[in-house]
């Protein structure tokens, strides 16, 4: 699961659920947090500040990437790939806010794109994990 994250967002409490999901399904799931400041300037911190916030406030132990730009002309190549059917071979998608989730299978194939409001323990995520 690839999730763009931010420390000052209404969805920030999802960090706790993401950590719980990561621990519950550690044998079949890796959560990768991608800090992003593209939406409302809600992730202004540097890498160390983000790491400290996540670990002390939410006990995050899942992998966190460096802060990336994920939209527009400055979008990182990962998000270019995730958003373009021509590149990923599956679907066109658009990240509209923080905590957008991408589900990828064990071979790295894009399976699903889930908007921010879909929580980590949503039935759609659980069905995917149990399939």
Domain that holds residue 124: 2-130
Residue 106 has pLDDT above 90, yes or no: yes
Question: By the 8 A CB rule, do 31 and 18 touch?
Answer: yes
- Owner of token pair 């990828």: 104
CATH number of the domain bearing residue 84: 3.40.30.10
Task: Please say if the pLDDT value at position 117 is more than 90.
Answer: yes
Task: Name the active-site residue from 1, 3, 6, 9.
Answer: 9
Residue 80's nearest CA partner among 65, 95, 97 is 95
The torsion region of residue 14 among left (phi > 0), alpha (psi -120 to 50) and beta comes to alpha
Q: What is the pLDDT of residues 32-76, one digit of tens each?
A: 999 999 999 999 999 999 999 999 999 999 999 999 999 999 999
Mean pLDDT of 104-125: 97
d(CA 12, CA 5): 7
- The predicted pLDDT at position 69 comes to 96
**Is residue 9 annotated as part of the catalytic site, yes or no?**
yes
Question: At residue 131, does pLDDT exceed 90?
Answer: no
- Domains: count for the chain: 1
């Amino acid at each position: 699961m690839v999730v763009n994250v931010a420390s000052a967002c209404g969805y920030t409490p999802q960090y706790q659920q993401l950590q719980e999901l990561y621990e519950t399904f550690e044998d079949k799931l890796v959560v990768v947090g991608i800090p992003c400041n593209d939406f409302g300037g809600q992730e202004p911190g540097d890498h160390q500040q983000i790491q400290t916030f996540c670990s002390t406030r939410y006990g995050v132990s899942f992998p966190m990437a460096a802060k990336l730009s994920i939209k527009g002309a400055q979008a990182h190549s990962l998000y270019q790939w995730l958003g373009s059917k021509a590149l990923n071979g599956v679907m066109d998608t658009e990240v509209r806010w923080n905590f957008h989730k991408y589900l990828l299978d064990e071979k790295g194939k894009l399976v699903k794109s889930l908007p921010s409001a879909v929580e980590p323990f949503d039935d759609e995520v659980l069905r995917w994990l149990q399939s």
